[in-house]
Amino acid sequence: MDFTFSEEQTAFRDSVSRFLMTEAAPELLRDIWETETGRSPELWARVAGQGLMGLSAPEADGGMGMGDIDWALLLQEVGYYALPDSLTDTAYVAVGMLSALPEGHGARAWLARVAEGNCRVAVGHPINPHVADAALADVLLLPHVTTAGAELHLMLPQQCKITALQSIDASRRLCKVEWTASDATRILDAVHGQKVWDQAGERGALAAAAQMLGLAQRMLDLSVDYVAQRKQFDKVIGSFQAVQHHLSNIVTKIEFAKPVLYRAFYALQHGEVDLAVRISHAKLQCSEASWFASRNSLQVHGAMGYTWEVDLQMFMKRAWVLDSAWGDKSFHSARLSQGLLRSPHAPVGPGATFDRETSTCGGCASQPAARNIAEEVVA
C-alpha cells in the first residue's frame, strides 16, 4: 500500500517552495507590511502568474479544477513563508463558495476574474468576528443570519462601511464591516446559503491548520539555524542537551499533526460523515504544534526572538492569530467532543482510519478518491 503523495504533488509543492523562497523572503515581507496597505500588487501578480489563484476554480471558469487534497502541501508552504491571508481566502475558500453556485448564476463570473489574478475576495464568515483584507477586496462574501440559516450576499466595497482594525500580526489586515442586506445583494437563500457557509468554515479551518503546521516547521528551522551559530561558554548552544530536547520535541509535535491534517483533507474532499470531527481534530493538533514551536523557539532564541529585527517574531505572531481564526480552541474542542460522543456511525481512531474501500488516485483532485495522498496517515 502506497502511503505517500504522488510525484506530481510533491513536485508542485517543491516548485511553489522555490518560488516563495525568493519572492517572499522575510526582508521583502517586512517592507511590504510596513506600507499603508500591507500588500504588494507586484507579489500578487507574480503569485497569480504561477497559476495559484485558479487551482480550485472549475475548468469552465478558467481554472484547473483541482480539489481540496491538492491544497494540503501547498497551504503548508503558504504558512512556511508567511504569505498573507488573501491567497487562501480568495483562491481556496471564496472560490469554493462561488463554485457551489448553480451553473449560469451571474455571480460565477467572479470565478474567472479570480483565476486570472484580477480579483481579491474577502470572506466574512459568521465564525470570524472580523473580516480579513476587506479594505483591499474587490468583492466581499458576507452572511446574513436568519432563523432559517445564513444567506449568502455578494457586496462591493462601496456598498459597505469598512473600518480598519489593529492586529498583533503586521501581515493580517482585519476590518469591521457594516452593511445592509437586500434582495439585490443576496445570491443564495438561507437554506442553500447555510450549506455553502458550513463548507467554507471547514475549508477555512483546515487552511488555518495547514498554515500553522508550516509555520511550526519554519520556526523549527529558524531555531536550528540559530542554535548552530549562537555560542555560550565557547560552545554553540545547539550542543547543549537541553536545547536539543526543546527542538526534538517540536519535531515530534509536527510529525504527530501531519497525518491528522492529511486525513482531514481527505474527509473534506470526500464529504465524509465525520468531517467536522476530522477537521476540528486537525485544527487542534496543528494549533498545538504551532504554539509548542513558538514557545520552544522563543526559549532557545531568548527574549530577542520577539523583537522586530528577528525573523522568528513574524512566524510566531502569525501562528497566534491563525489559532483564533476560523474557530478557536474552545470551539473546536467542543465540536470534537460532541462529535465523538454522538456519532456512533462515524467511528474514529486507528481501527477506523481506512475502514472504507478507496480507489487509487493519480495525484489529481479531478479524480476524487485520492488514496495515495490520504493514506499517508499511518493508523
**pLDDT above 60 for 360:** no
Tell me: the pLDDT tens digits for 245-303? 888 999 999 999 999 999 999 999 999 988 999 999 999 999 999 999 999 999 888 88
Residue 21 lies in a domain: no
Q: Determine the pLDDT at residue 379.
A: 33
Q: Could you tell me which residue, 79 or 371, shows the higher pLDDT?
A: 79
pLDDT, averaged across the chain: 87
Kindly report the backbone phi and psi dihedral angles of residue 131, in degrees, each rounded to the nearest multiple of 5, phi listed first.
-110, 125
Does any domain span residue 231?
A: yes
pTM: 0.88
Are the CB atoms for 353 and 277 separated by under 8 Å?
no
pLDDT 10s digits, 136-165? 999 999 999 999 999 999 999 999 999 999
Among the residue ranges 179-188, 270-279, 364-373, the one predicted with the least confidence is: 364-373
Residue located via cell numbers 481540496 = 68
How would you label 214-248 residue by residue, b for 16+ Cβ within 10 Å and e otherwise?
bbbbbbbebbbebbeeeeeeeeebbeeeebeebbe
Sheet holding 174-178, edge to edge: 131-132, 174-178, 161-164
Q: What is the pLDDT of residues 316-329, one digit of tens each?
A: 999 999 999 999 99
Residue 281: closest CA among 294, 269, 263: 263
C-alpha grid cell for residue 302?
531568548
Whether residue 149 lies inside any domain: the answer is no
Helix axes 312-324, 26-33, angle to 10 degrees: 60
- Whether residue 358 is contained in a domain is answered as yes
Give the 3-state DSSP-derived string for the chain, with helices as H, strands as E and coil as C: CCCCCCHHHHHHHHHHHHHHHHHCCHHHHHHHHCCCCCCCHHHHHHHHHCCHHHCCCCHHHCCCCCCHHHHHHHHHHHHHCCCCCHHHHHHHHHHHHHHCCCCCCHHHHHHHHHHHCCCCEEECCCCCCCEECHHHCCEEEEEEEECCEEEEEEECHHHCEEEECCCCCCCCCEEEEECCCCCCCEEECHHHHHHHHHHHHHHHHHHHHHHHHHHHHHHHHHHHHHHCCCEECCEEHHHCHHHHHHHHHHHHHHHHHHHHHHHHHHHHHHCCCCHHHHHHHHHHHHHHHHHHHHHHHHHHHCHHHHCCCCCHHHHHHHHHHHHHCCCCHHHHHHHHHHHHHHCCCCCCCHHHCCCCCCCCCCCCCCCCCCHHHHCCCCC
Output the pLDDT for position 359.
38
pLDDT at 306: 82
Q: What is the CATH number of the domain that holds 207?
A: 1.20.140.10
For residues 97 and 33, the answer to whether their CB atoms sit within 8 Å is no
Domain count, the chain: 1
- The pLDDT of residue 150 is 96
Q: Does 350 map to a domain?
A: yes
Give the residue numbers spanning the domain of 247. 193-374
Distance between CA atoms of residues 272 and 274, nearest Å: 5
User: Considering only 94-103, 221-230, 291-300, which range has the smallest mean pLDDT?
Assistant: 221-230
Q: Report the range of poorest mean pLDDT among 67-71, 193-197, 202-206.
A: 67-71
Assigned C-alpha cell, 38: 500591507
Residues 6+ apart with CB under 8 A from 300: 223, 226, 227, 237, 243, 246, 247
**How high is the pLDDT of residue 167?**
87
Distance (Å, whole) CA 13 – CA 218 = 15
Q: Is residue 268 part of a domain?
A: yes
Q: Which of 110-119, 122-131, 339-348 has the lowest mean pLDDT?
A: 339-348
**pLDDT of res. 37:** 86
Question: What gap in Å lies between CA 366 and CA 364, rounded to an integer?
Answer: 5
25 located within any domain: no
Whether 242 is in a domain gets the answer yes
State how far the Cα of 215 lies from the Cα of 208, in Å rounded to an integer: 10
Q: Give residue 317's pLDDT.
A: 93
Number of neighbouring beta carbons within 10 Å of residue 198: 15
Q: What is the pLDDT of residue 228?
A: 79
